[in-house]
Structure 1
Amino acid sequence: MRELRGRTAVVTGAASGIGRGMAEAFAGEGMRVVLSDVEEAALHRTAAELRDAGAEVHAVVTDVADAADVTALADSALRTYGAVHVLCNNAGVYTGSKPSWESTLDDWAWILGVNLMGVVHGIRTFLPVMIEQNEEAHIVNTASMAGLLPGGSLYGATKTAVVSLSETVHLELVESGSRPRISVLCPGLVDTDIYHSQRNRPARFPDAGPVPGTWSVDAARQAFKEFGVRPRVIGDEVVRAIREERFYVLTHPEYRDHIKHRTQRILDGENPTVLSPPAPGRR
């Protein structure tokens, strides 16, 4: 999809972090942007700021773990703008429980509902619409470097599933001759508030497992702010990937050796090991 101006993008988890970075990048390309998030006050604040900057935006409060909410999001987007050309299944949470066997079933239900089923709901709801439109269209699923490397606990399990699901949908679209295309976004450290996900944990999942004591939320937030890539940088890379119809969107090249290491261990039949994290840098 080369031409973005005048087209419509829907972004989940758009109130902050990577979602907001993508929304800003799309607005900068002259797109109309439907912002959705479960955090209502932050969502409307972001929408107001983007409007003040000249963007055409529409905000819809959405819990992506709820299929009916995602259906309502699609209905609202289509009523407002008539079509959807880009969908970013971006909303995500981090439970922080470690080791994984001490995580509660509530931890699993929450993180699977948002990180995996949120993507499933987005694909099932929007992709048939995009195919029916018979226009150029693109889906971007936010996974993580944790989806390509071992050791990510619950978060890594959900993001690995997002990578696999995205690969499957890519092959199905190509084989069926459908016009939409898909990408999977696998960033490393980004300046977001994901370590503070508990602020949005639903009351229906109260039983939380132990949180690792290595980093406090405040320390994690400071590290993400100091060393994480700015969300708008990620948004701009997503725009390039959509234009190039590039499936794998790897925004942190310093992890290439880590991906190669994991792949080689698989090919050699060796047990999983992890390399030391790359030196952090700010972009």
Structure 2
Amino acid sequence: MTIALMKDLQGKVAVVTGGAGGIGRAMGRRFGAEGMKVLLADLLAEPLDEATRELAGEGIDVAGVVTDVTDHSSVESLAHEALQRFGAVHVVCNNAGTGGVSEGYMWEHDLADWRWGIDVNVLGVIHGIKAFVPILLEQGEGHVVNTCSGNGGFAPIARGATGGPAMAVYPMTKAAVLCLTESLYTHLEMTGTRVRAHALFPSGFLNTGIWESWRHRPKRYAATQDRRTPEPTLAEVVARFEAGGVRVEFTPLETVADQVIAGIRADRFWMMGPPAPTEEVVSRKAASILARSDPDYLVDVLSQTAGRGPDTEGGNQ
């Protein structure tokens, strides 16, 4: 196995998509605290400018590039900008994502919802790999960090906070991201390179804009079906969980960023925190596969199936 320990991050360059807020901004700040140069990318120009100014005010060498991860040429331009500005790229975080907007059973989901989720959450990662991995390979070192989720990466949430079906788009895309990252790890290993792949699993509830992705839905992915219920806010989602007896405690975003730094330094594929309640689902899923039994491991966020409280990024009922 190729070992690629990058313990000294001083002067290295990190590129973070979805960098205008949430996990992306937290990672950018944490990279900057290590003395790294940071390039934040996001589709939202104003929040991106705000994030860039904020980090620059903290003494971080940072720049922002408006980027649409669903467009390969846009991600290629981001890679070009990174080389033009900083001369290299050492850490690439394919972090941009969109959350759940669908309602009802999966056969009732709007096709536009599927296309939006797949284009951002899956193709966005593929575009990042396509644009940046050749650069890292030419350098001979580097790290690719893909943001996954327990919701899909472990097993899909089956029932949401209202007791009805959880939306299927988000967990499907995150399952795909994990498979992509596992494949990337293997392909890189086969070349003998020191470039490494990592799967980031943020634990717990995260106070990020992904819960209200509908606020920034691009026109080309406009819904083609009328909704039966209003788009939920994060406050409403939290209220639903708590009404169902589930206490919501947000995981500090800084904790997730710390996991990334620790994972890079230790060269760990699985960037995860301490054992989480829904990791039990992994064992139950494996047992179900081996026993050829029905999938009784599927997660119910109100604890009626998995026997635990929620532990997943993005939530997405």
Q: Calculate the TM-score normalised by the size of structure 1.
A: 0.92
Partner of 1:242: 264
Q: Match of 2:46, as an amino acid?
A: A
- Shift in Å at residue 94 of structure 1? 1.1
SS at match of 1:204: helix
Asked whether 1:158 is paired with 2:180, we answer: no
Partner of 2:124: 118
1:158-185 CA-to-partner distances (Å, cap 9, x unmatched) read 0000000100110111111012001011
Judging changes above 3 Å, is the alpha-carbon distance between structure 1 residues 21 and 209 closer, same or farther for their aligned structure 2 residues? farther
Judging changes above 3 Å, is the alpha-carbon distance between structure 1 residues 211 and 9 closer, same or farther for their aligned structure 2 residues? farther
Instruction: Indicate which of 205, 214, 219 corresponds to 2:236.
Output: 219
Structure showing greater radius of gyration is 2
Aligned residues between the structures: 279
- Shift in Å at residue 156 of structure 1? 0.5
Moved more, 267-276 or 69-78: 267-276
Judging changes above 3 Å, is the alpha-carbon distance between structure 1 residues 153 and 251 closer, same or farther for their aligned structure 2 residues? farther
- Shift in Å at residue 67 of structure 1? 0.5
Q: Match of 2:195, as an amino acid?
A: P
Instruction: Indicate which of 197, 205, 208 corresponds to 1:182.
Output: 197
Alpha-carbon RMSD across the aligned residues, in angstroms, is 2.2
Residues 169 and 182 in structure 1, CA contact (< 8 A), matched pair in contact too: yes
Higher helix share: 1
- Shift in Å at residue 251 of structure 1? 2.9
Residues 193 and 221 in structure 1, CA contact (< 8 A), matched pair in contact too: no
Asked whether 1:137 is paired with 2:142, we answer: yes
Judging changes above 3 Å, is the alpha-carbon distance between structure 1 residues 2 and 221 closer, same or farther for their aligned structure 2 residues? same
Partner of 1:6: 11
SS at match of 1:11: strand
SS at match of 1:36: strand
Equivalents in 2 of 1:213, 1:127: separation in Å? 42
1:132-152 CA-to-partner distances (Å, cap 9, x unmatched) read 112x21000001011211336
- Unaligned runs of 5+ residues in structure 2 are 1-5, 158-166, 299-305, 312-317
Residues 69 and 120 in structure 2, CA contact (< 8 A), matched pair in contact too: yes
SS at match of 2:19: coil
Asked whether 1:192 is paired with 2:208, we answer: yes
Equivalents in 2 of 1:139, 1:125: separation in Å? 12
User: Which runs of structure 2 are paired with 1:243-262 in the superposition (5 Å)?
Assistant: 243-251=265-273, 253-254=275-276, 255-262=278-285
Asked whether 1:38 is paired with 2:43, we answer: yes
User: Which runs of structure 2 are paired with 1:63-74 in the superposition (5 Å)?
Assistant: 63-74=68-79
Partner of 1:29: 34
Equivalents in 2 of 1:109, 1:119: separation in Å? 15
Residues 101 and 113 in structure 2, CA contact (< 8 A), matched pair in contact too: no
Partner of 2:188: 173
SS at match of 1:97: coil
Residues 156 and 172 in structure 2, CA contact (< 8 A), matched pair in contact too: no
Equivalents in 2 of 1:125, 1:12: separation in Å? 13
Asked whether 1:228 is paired with 2:250, we answer: yes
Judging changes above 3 Å, is the alpha-carbon distance between structure 1 residues 185 and 208 closer, same or farther for their aligned structure 2 residues? farther
Identity %: 37
Judging changes above 3 Å, is the alpha-carbon distance between structure 1 residues 249 and 208 closer, same or farther for their aligned structure 2 residues? farther
Q: Calculate the TM-score normalised by the size of structure 2.
A: 0.83
Judging changes above 3 Å, is the alpha-carbon distance between structure 1 residues 65 and 15 closer, same or farther for their aligned structure 2 residues? same
Judging changes above 3 Å, is the alpha-carbon distance between structure 1 residues 95 and 208 closer, same or farther for their aligned structure 2 residues? farther
Judging changes above 3 Å, is the alpha-carbon distance between structure 1 residues 215 and 59 closer, same or farther for their aligned structure 2 residues? closer
Judging changes above 3 Å, is the alpha-carbon distance between structure 1 residues 114 and 221 closer, same or farther for their aligned structure 2 residues? farther
SS at match of 2:263: helix
1:41-96 CA-to-partner distances (Å, cap 9, x unmatched) read 00000110001111110100011011111011001111000000000000000133
Instruction: Indicate which of 36, 45, 49 corresponds to 2:54.
Output: 49
Equivalents in 1 of 2:310, 2:99: separation in Å? 23
Judging changes above 3 Å, is the alpha-carbon distance between structure 1 residues 95 and 278 closer, same or farther for their aligned structure 2 residues? closer
